[in-house]
């Protein structure tokens, strides 16, 4: 790079992006530690919370919500099923589709995990005014919308 060219870390948007990425990574580590005693990890928690919210969702819909592939789902779901936390049932109309639900034990564990996760978030963001939290949320939602509408060719062009 020549003297007149700015480095990426000098760019405010790059700095913002790195800050979000680092905060996300550190939060993931904190959540991992906080829920360890429950015998689950963040990917399990993501599944359980989504099943709590969307009872009867299909495996395919869940994978799409979590932005993961079917192979990842096929590794995680049996672990939760073996622990009697989830049920997989064939759809009444289409036997090829598997519908997912929490068991009673799964619901109870999910509620415990959500209390832990929410407490951690509250503790970390307690000094941040709610309006700033909402601004960050809106900014991230904007980024999500942009990324979801971009196709692979657009991403490659921008790189």
pLDDT digits (tens, 9 = 90+) for 123-134: 999 999 999 999
| Residue 59: exposure state from Cβ atoms within 10 A (0-12, 13-18, ≥19) | middle
| pLDDT more than 70, % of the chain | 92
pTM equals: 0.83
Residue 124: CB atoms within 10 Å: 13
Of 97, 104, 49, 47, nearest to 73 (Cα)? 47
Cα–Cα distance measured from residue 98 to residue 77, given in angstroms and rounded to the nearest whole number? 11
Question: What is the pLDDT tens value at each position of the chain, 159 positions in all?
Answer: 566 667 887 888 888 889 999 999 999 999 999 999 999 999 999 999 999 999 999 999 999 999 898 888 889 999 999 999 999 998 888 888 889 999 999 999 999 999 999 999 999 999 999 999 999 999 999 998 999 898 755 655 655
Residue 156, pLDDT score: 55
């Amino acid at each position: 790079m020549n003297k007149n060219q700015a480095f990426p870390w000098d760019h405010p948007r790059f700095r913002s992006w790195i800050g979000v990425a680092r905060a996300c990574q550190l939060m993931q580590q904190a959540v991992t530690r906080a829920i360890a005693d429950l015998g689950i990890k963040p990917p399990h928690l993501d599944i359980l919370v989504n099943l709590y919210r969307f009872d009867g969702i299909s495996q395919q819909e869940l994978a799409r919500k979590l932005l993961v592939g079917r192979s990842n789902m096929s590794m995680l779901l049996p672990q939760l099923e073996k622990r009697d936390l989830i049920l997989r049932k064939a759809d009444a109309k289409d036997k090829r589709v598997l519908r997912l639900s929490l068991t009673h034990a799964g619901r109870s564990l999910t509620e415990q995990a959500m209390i832990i996760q929410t407490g951690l978030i509250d503790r970390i963001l307690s000094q941040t005014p709610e309006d700033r939290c909402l601004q960050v949320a809106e900014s991230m939602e904007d980024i999500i919308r942009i990324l979801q509408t971009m196709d692979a060719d657009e991403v490659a062009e921008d790189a």
